[in-house]
Structure formats: structure tokens, C-alpha cells
Amino acid sequence: MREVTTFVTHLECSGTGRKYEADTVQGLSETGKPLLVRYDLDGLTRAVEKPDLMDREPGLWRYREFLPVRKSENIVSLGEVMTPILAAPRLRAKFGGGEILIKDEGRLPTGSFKARGLALAVSMAKELGITRMAMPTNGNAGAALAAYCSRAGMESFVFCPEDTPEVNIREIALQGAETFLANGLINDCGRIVGEGETAMNWFDTSTLKEPYRIEGKKTMGLELAEQLDWQLPDIILYPTGGGTGLIGMWKAFEELEAIGWIGRKRPRMVAVQASGCAPIVKAYEQGADHAEPWRDAHTIAAGIRVPAALGDFLILNAVRESGGFAVAVDDDLIQAAQEECAREEGILLCPEGAATLAAYKRELASGRIGKSERAVLFNCATGLKYPMPAAGRFIDLNEKTDYEALAS
Ligand SMILES: *Cc1c(COP(=O)(O)O)cnc(C)c1O
């Protein structure tokens, strides 16, 4: 890959706007808010034009000028693909609404879009000389951290709630992380990571506690825009836990407009949560700027079981500014949507992705989503990582097979 200068100028506190130096290890701002990466957008405009992208490899590194890594040798990659956008015409016909497009992020390394964020976080850690990373996780982020750290020759320490899906725990351990199960939720695990920073000399890679995972997730917005020929959809439904992806895409659209690659039109951003853990929805409905921590969080959609999000105000801001909304769906609707999509379209969504379809279906019926709106739904992980219902009918080979009886 050719050497490209990046256009990073500084980091900025998302709460106060205060500037921070970029080329040094940074966590949160002094006021405890996430730091956002800022770029010299004029320089970027002069350096790259849309047609330049056509000659580049697919995947998130094609947006090098929009990303913070300065030296190509620090890029840590596991072959990130450009994820397909799949139309769902049968569901569309069934529901009677507008175009439904599913961006299938399950194709990425480690089977989830956490790969985008961690590819950037680990590459930047390498660039800044960090060799040991730690994080609390509900599963997918830990798997991506473990994989990218092993790829980079770094150590990783991952802390999961004890009821994290077994497949995630095993995957994390197998990919080289020191793996721990704690009797609490992700926020409790986050406390262990934060408090252990001095004793263990690890870097806290928790959602939004370092500036670069957002930049990785931002590539979903860049990629979506490019794939749709720079015409953003009318509405985006995003399964929201910590909200990195929603915040990242919103940032991508802002940067794309600033360099003149898209116009002013923004998709309505819809934050989808599960009824058993819906702090953002509650804050949205109450008109609050911040969300209160959710008690007794539970849902089959582990990736969005996040009782308190550091970037709550950024999520709420994007949702409101875009004219979108926040909405929660029950686990049984999530399961029904997963099954319906698999049967009708041959796409096996993860429960979090299925939550966006459940929300789409219900809010189309309620009129909150318009019949002519072109919608993009995010399927954030491969459905194969999650428990599936038992199936298959027994055939006794000692008996003569009754073929007529096979079609049910
Ligand atoms: C992490 C995760 C989410 C939530 O993503 P955020 O950007 O942190 O809100 C949704 N679905 C899956 C499968 C995840 O792993």
C-alpha cells in the first residue's frame, strides 16, 4: 500500500470542544467525555477525489485519508471486506413499504462489525507504542480485540459478564486473549478494566474510552455512501448498545458533506434497543440529554445489552438532529423477525440485526416510518455465532423411507 499522510489535526472533547494533542496516548477528556478525531478537511479535499477510490482494494483501508493511522506499516488487518448491501424484496412486498436494504456486517473478520472499530484501535495502539490492551465486552468486541491484538503481536485481557454467549467466550480465548468471566454486567467489567490500568499497565479499549474505535465504525457511513453512489438512504435503523456505530456514521456524513461529496440531506437515524435494556429509548422519550443507567438489563440480543453508554448524549443528539427516533422491541419480536428474514430472504440475521427488522416492521405499520422511505438496516454480526433452535427430523434407516411424508 502506498504511503499516505493522514490529515489528523487534533482530538476534540465531544462535550466541551476543548482540543487535545493527537499523536500521543489519550483516553477520555478531562470532563470524562469521549474524544473525537478531527481532520484538516481542506487538505483532505485536495488529496483525494471520488474516482481515486475506484482503483483501491475493497475494505475500510480504502478510506485511508479519512482515518488516523499515519504509517502504513502500523496497519493491522485481517482482510476486512466491503460488506454487501442486500435488498429484501420479499419482505418489502409482504410489509407493503419502501425499499429494505440490509447491510450485512457479519461478513467481516471475527464475524461482526466490531472488527472495524478494533482494526483502527489496535492499529493506532501499535502506532503509539502500546503493547497490552484490555476491555469489557458482551462478546463480539472482545473477539475482535483478541484477534487484532494477536495479529499485531500484542497482549489482550478481556472481561465478560458470566452469561456471555459461550461461543464468544471460547472464540476470545482461542484467539489469544486472557479471558475472564465476572458475575456482573458489562459496566461492572468496565470498572475492573478501568481500575486495573495502573497495576496492569494495559490500555483501556472500552467503547468510546479511546478515540479510534469510532473512526473504524465511521467507515460504515463512508462505505454505505459510496455503495449507494453517494445518495444516502432516507432512514437508517441501527441496533444501539454503546452507540459507536451510530455516532461514527453521523460523523462520517458530517465529514463527507464538509468535503462536498454529499449534500445536506441526512438519513433519519433510528436507535433500536431491546425492551429489556432500553436506556436510550427512555431518555429519548423523556426529552433528556443523558440516559439513566438501566437496571436488570436482559435480552437475547447480547450486543445491545448495554445499561449505560458513555456516548448517550451523542447518540441522542444524532437521533434528534436527524429527525429520527429511538425505539425498543421485545425479544419475542426479535426472534420472530430473525426467523422471518431467514425464511423469506435466506439471510440469517443476528438477534441485534433482527431487532432492527422487528422495529422496521412495527413502525412501518404505525406510520412512524413512511411507505416510500428507503431504509437501511444493520445486521451487525453473523447469525451463526448465536444459539439456534433445535431442528431436523429423524429418519430410521432400518425402515423403508416414506418419501411422500418428507414434504411437510
Ligand atoms: C456491539 C454490537 C452492537 C452495538 O453496537 P454499538 O455501536 O456499540 O452500539 C450491536 N450488535 C452487535 C452484534 C454487536 O456486537
pLDDT tens, residue by residue, 119-128: 999 999 999 9
Closest listed residue to residue 97, CA positions, set 384, 359, 399 = 359
Q: Which atom of ligand 1 is closest in space to residue 247's alpha carbon?
A: 7
Provide the pLDDT for residue 185. Answer: 87
Alpha carbons 124 and 76: distance in angstroms, whole number: 9
Alpha carbons 25 and 46: distance in angstroms, whole number: 29
139 pLDDT above the threshold of 90 = yes
Instruction: Give the residues surrounding ligand 1 with Cβ less than 6 Å away.
Output: 112, 114, 140-141, 207, 239-245, 303-304, 350, 352, 380-381
Provide the pLDDT for residue 165. Answer: 85
- CA-atom Rg of the chain in angstroms: 21
Q: Which are the contacts of 273, defined by CB distance < 8 A and separation ≥ 6? A: 239, 240, 279, 280, 281, 304, 326, 327, 328, 329, 355
Using the mean position of ligand 1's atoms as its centre, give its distance from the Cα of residue 406 in Å.
40
| Chain centroid offset of residue 358 CA | 18
Alpha carbons 67 and 381: distance in angstroms, whole number: 23
Mean pLDDT for 284-304 is 95
Q: Which atom of ligand 1 is closest in space to residue 217's alpha carbon?
A: 7
238 and 219 Cβ atoms separated by less than 8 Å: no
Q: Which pLDDT band holds residue 353 (cuts at 50, 70, 90)?
A: very high
Using the mean position of ligand 1's atoms as its centre, give its distance from the Cα of residue 345 in Å.
23
327 and 272 Cβ atoms separated by less than 8 Å: yes
Using the mean position of ligand 1's atoms as its centre, give its distance from the Cα of residue 72 in Å.
28
Using the mean position of ligand 1's atoms as its centre, give its distance from the Cα of residue 2 in Å.
32
Alpha carbons 249 and 112: distance in angstroms, whole number: 16
Using the mean position of ligand 1's atoms as its centre, give its distance from the Cα of residue 239 in Å.
6
Residue having the nearest C-alpha atom to atom 15 of ligand 1: 303
Q: Which atom of ligand 1 is closest in space to residue 243's alpha carbon?
A: 9
Alpha carbons 104 and 353: distance in angstroms, whole number: 9
Average pLDDT, the chain: 96
Q: Which pLDDT band holds residue 408 (cuts at 50, 70, 90)?
A: confident
Among 95-104, 215-224, 365-374, 388-397, the range scoring the smallest mean pLDDT is 388-397
175 and 183 Cβ atoms separated by less than 8 Å: no
Residue 142 phi, psi dihedral angles, 5° rounding: -65, -40
312 and 279 Cβ atoms separated by less than 8 Å: yes
Using the mean position of ligand 1's atoms as its centre, give its distance from the Cα of residue 184 in Å.
19
Closest listed residue to residue 307, CA positions, set 318, 316, 319, 298 = 298
146 and 177 Cβ atoms separated by less than 8 Å: yes
Using the mean position of ligand 1's atoms as its centre, give its distance from the Cα of residue 65 in Å.
25
Q: Which atom of ligand 1 is closest in space to residue 350's alpha carbon?
A: 13
Q: Which value, to the nearest 10 degrees, does the dihedral of the CA atoms of residues 166, 386, 186, 306 take?
A: -170
| Chain centroid offset of residue 262 CA | 22
In the numeric block, the cell 432500553 is attached to 278
Q: Which pLDDT band holds residue 6 (cuts at 50, 70, 90)?
A: confident
Give percent of the chain with pLDDT exceeding 90.
95
Alpha carbons 368 and 364: distance in angstroms, whole number: 6
Provide the pLDDT for residue 155. Answer: 98
Using the mean position of ligand 1's atoms as its centre, give its distance from the Cα of residue 405 in Å.
43
Alpha carbons 312 and 309: distance in angstroms, whole number: 5
Alpha carbons 239 and 280: distance in angstroms, whole number: 11
1 pLDDT above the threshold of 50 = no
Amino acid letter at 375?
A
Q: Which pLDDT band holds residue 85 (cuts at 50, 70, 90)?
A: very high
Alpha carbons 59 and 318: distance in angstroms, whole number: 25
Residue having the nearest C-alpha atom to atom 3 of ligand 1: 303
Amino acid letter at 87?
A
Residue having the nearest C-alpha atom to atom 12 of ligand 1: 303
Q: Which domains does the chain have, with CATH numbers?
A: 85-109+213-385 (3.40.50.1100)
Provide the pLDDT for residue 3. Answer: 55
Among 57-66, 161-170, 261-270, 355-364, the range scoring the smallest mean pLDDT is 161-170
Residue having the nearest C-alpha atom to atom 8 of ligand 1: 242
289: which 3 cell numbers?
A: 440529554
Pocket test of ligand 1: the residue of 104, 107, 108, 112 to mutate, having most ligand atoms within 8 Å of its CB, is 112
Residue having the nearest C-alpha atom to atom 1 of ligand 1: 303
4 pLDDT above the threshold of 70 = no
Using the mean position of ligand 1's atoms as its centre, give its distance from the Cα of residue 249 in Å.
13
Pocket test of ligand 1: the residue of 83, 113, 167, 273 to mutate, having most ligand atoms within 8 Å of its CB, is 113
127: helix, coil or strand?
helix
Q: What share of the chain is helix, strand, coil (3-state, %, to 5)?
A: 45, 15, 40
Alpha carbons 2 and 8: distance in angstroms, whole number: 18
Q: Which are the contacts of 169, defined by CB distance < 8 A and separation ≥ 6? A: 139, 160, 179, 181
Pocket test of ligand 1: the residue of 238, 304, 329 to mutate, having most ligand atoms within 8 Å of its CB, is 304
